[in-house]
């Protein structure tokens, strides 16, 4: 299980390679560009986290998670701005990012210690992203704009996000309770690592899909 947990965190490097390619070559559609930024940020955070733990012997890097939660939410919502602009105005989604960031900062300062998991912010983030993905699925079903789902990056992104955040919701809520308290926490973080690997594999597919550039 330990191997899976380690793999779970390092799998982000796979989509990150595709992300770097997309950003350097300036190819891909709107969603792929934002996803590339997101996986790159996630990879940098993951690498920094490991360097801090292994090289600098810092035992608790949870403050990074508090900061990353805000960044992660903002980047994921940004992926959907273009696809949902017919249904949700851009300003509403930006407003959602601002409200969530404010809540998350207040939570980190006044409620949950930055050396603990930010369970409220993570759980709220998971719920909001699940709702966003469900909204996207509903809108796509009504509008019938996606003719080939398997060739659409946003379908793979949405599926990866839905699987990851649905499975992780309870882990986020109980992360402070289970963290280091029981042997079974390995099972839980192992499950988290599995869905994380699935998410990053889906993101890799989303980034690898070739979209014909608009002429």
Task: Give me the residues that bind another protein (CB under 8 A), please.
Answer: 134, 137, 140-141, 144, 146-147, 149, 159, 162-163, 166-171, 174, 177-178, 181-182, 184-185, 187-188, 191, 195
The least distance separating another protein from the CB of residue 176, rounded to whole angstroms, comes to 9
Q: Tokens for 45?
A: 């955070």
Nearer to another protein, 15 or 160 (CB): 160
The least distance separating another protein from the CB of residue 3, rounded to whole angstroms, comes to 19
Nearer to another protein, 73 or 136 (CB): 136
3-class SS letters over 43-77: HHHHHHHHHHHHCCCCCCCHHHHHHHHHHHHHHHH
HSE toward the beta carbon, residue 77, CA cutoff 13 A: 25
The least distance separating another protein from the CB of residue 191, rounded to whole angstroms, comes to 5
Q: Tokens for 73?
A: 């939410």
Nearer to another protein, 84 or 162 (CB): 162
The least distance separating another protein from the CB of residue 109, rounded to whole angstroms, comes to 23
The least distance separating another protein from the CB of residue 167, rounded to whole angstroms, comes to 4
Closest listed residue to residue 84, CA positions, set 124, 130, 29, 133: 133
Nearer to another protein, 40 or 129 (CB): 129
The least distance separating another protein from the CB of residue 163, rounded to whole angstroms, comes to 5
Q: 139 vs 34, 67, 131, 142, CA distance in Å?
A: 20, 31, 12, 5
Nearer to another protein, 41 or 171 (CB): 171
Closest listed residue to residue 117, CA positions, set 72, 74, 66: 66
Closest listed residue to residue 173, CA positions, set 121, 107, 111, 101: 121
Task: Estimate the share of the chain in helix, then strand, then coil, as percent rounded to the nearest 5.
Answer: 75, 0, 25
């Amino acid at each position: 299980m330990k191997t899976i947990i380690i793999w779970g965190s390092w799998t982000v490097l796979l989509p990150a390679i595709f992300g770097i390619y997309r950003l350097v070559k300036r190819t891909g559609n709107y969603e792929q560009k934002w996803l590339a930024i997101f996986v790159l940020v996630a990879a940098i955070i993951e690498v920094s986290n490991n360097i801090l733990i292994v090289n600098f012997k810092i035992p608790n890097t949870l403050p990074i998670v508090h900061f990353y939660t805000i960044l992660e939410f903002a980047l994921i919502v940004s992926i959907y701005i273009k696809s949902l602009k017919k249904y949700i105005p851009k300003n509403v989604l930006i407003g959602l990012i601002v409200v969530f960031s404010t809540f998350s900062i207040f939570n980190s300062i006044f409620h949950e210690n930055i050396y603990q998991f930010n369970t409220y912010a993570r759980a709220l983030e998971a719920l909001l992203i699940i709702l966003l993905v469900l909204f996207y699925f509903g809108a796509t079903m009504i509008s019938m704009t996606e003719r080939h789902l398997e060739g659409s990056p946003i379908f793979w992104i949405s599926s990866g996000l839905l699987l990851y955040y649905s499975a992780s919701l309870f882990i986020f809520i109980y992360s402070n309770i289970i963290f280091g308290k029981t042997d079974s926490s390995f099972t839980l973080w192992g499950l988290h690592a599995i869905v994380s690997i699935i998410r990053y594999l889906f993101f890799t597919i989303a980034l690898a899909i070739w979209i014909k550039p608009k002429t």
